[in-house]
Amino acid sequence: MKNIAELEAQFQAKVDAEIKIEPKEWMPEKYRKTLIRQISQHAHSEVVGMLPEGNWISRAPSLRRKVALLAKIQDEAGHGLYLYSAAETLGIERDELVQQLLDGTAKYSSIFNYPSLTWADIGAIGWLVDGAAIMNQVMLTRTSYGPYARAMVRICKEESFHQRQGYEILLTLCRGSEEQKAMAQDALNRWWWPSLMMFGPRDADSPHTAQSMKWKIKRKTNDELRQQFVDVTVPQADFLGITVPDPDLKWNEETNHYEFGEINWDEFWNVVKGNGPCNRQRLEARQAAYDKGAWVREAATAFAEKRAAVAV
């Protein structure tokens, strides 16, 4: 039997050689735990992310917008399922994962604790929230854990429609009446900073980053991804003709990057700790869905057992 240090060295050598880690292979316990935490948090985000958008299905302004929004929300459910399955390959059961969401031990992206107040918010969510998620997910297609990387490839393929439909909603509003353009501006004002917060704390305040980079779970740091997002998104806002709500935002000729203002980290931590505008509402909605679905789960099991008995 090999000792732990030897196994860990072999594991790291595999990661360094860009050989994917697959289920059932030996891995450090902390690698497994980190992945379960990260993948399940990601899965929960997809599922809770359906709530602010579901709010607008019945009020979408046209049938075209409605089918697009329905398809997008159905994708989010699918993404949640791909990710739960990836997490389960690490030896945790689906029910445990769901319980962790409901009892608050597992987190989901804080962005979904903000309300979707107007139709323009549906545009802003697709453009900014999915845009920020894509930055992170494209990086994760190269993550070291095989099932997670494969789920990400599927998700990235589907996600770009989400971002484009969101941008198209805002483009339509910005080319409309003054009132419609003001709605788009208002949505950008409210979603810009929470979108930047999606990348997580600054590198200096992110204790897990170094280890996750070494294990190649992550390939870029929070600050790198955030900068990348700002750099591609600001010109898109310019094209819409609306203003990013950051007086410190300016292009730096020398670095070829935008400089931007400081995030309100008090707000960030406050929402993470459960005190955002919709934290309670979101968890209540998930709990209600779980409770109201209980009889369906039980009935399906009973029916399957009955039919299996008849077949014998």
Partner 1 sequence: MNKNWPLWEVFIRSKNGLHHKHAGSLHAADAQMAMENARDVYTRRMEGVSLWVVESKHITASNPMESGELFEPAHDKVYRHPTFYPLPDEVKNI
Residue 297 touching partner 1 (CB under 8 A): yes
Is the CB of residue 48 less than 8 Å from the CB of residue 282? yes
Residue 158 touching partner 1 (CB under 8 A): yes
Distance CA 217, CA 230 (A): 23
Is the CB of residue 111 less than 8 Å from the CB of residue 195? yes
Residue selected from 10, 74, 105, 275 as contacting partner 1 according to rule CB under 8 A: 74
Q: Among 49-57, 69-77, 217-225, 233-241, which window interacts with partner 1 (CB under 8 A)? A: 69-77
Residue selected from 132, 134, 151, 283 as contacting partner 1 according to rule CB under 8 A: 151
Site for partner 1 in 23-62 (CB under 8 A): 24-26
Q: Which is nearer to partner 1, 88 or 246 (CB)?
A: 88
Cα pseudo-dihedral 227, 260, 275, 282, rounded to 10: -50
Q: Provide the mask over 105-144, with x wherever binding to partner 1 is found by CB under 8 A and - wherever it is not.
A: ----------------------------------------
Residue 82 touching partner 1 (CB under 8 A): yes
CB of 85 to partner 1, least distance (A): 5
Please give the structure tokens belonging to residue 225.
């991804």
Q: Which is nearer to partner 1, 89 or 189 (CB)?
A: 89
Alpha helices in 175-221 (DSSP H): 178-197, 209-214
Distances (CA, A) of 77 to 10, 38, 47, 99, 197: 37, 18, 6, 17, 23
Burial 213-244 (b: 16+ CB within 10 A, else e): eebbbbbbbbbebbbbbbeebbebbeebebeb
Distance CA 197, CA 201 (A): 7
Residue 307 touching partner 1 (CB under 8 A): yes
Is the CB of residue 272 less than 8 Å from the CB of residue 110? yes
Residue 292 touching partner 1 (CB under 8 A): no
CB of 26 to partner 1, least distance (A): 7
CB of 150 to partner 1, least distance (A): 8
Residues that bind partner 1 (CB under 8 A): 22, 24-26, 71, 74-75, 78, 81-82, 85, 88, 93-95, 150-151, 154, 157-158, 297, 300-301, 303-304, 307-308
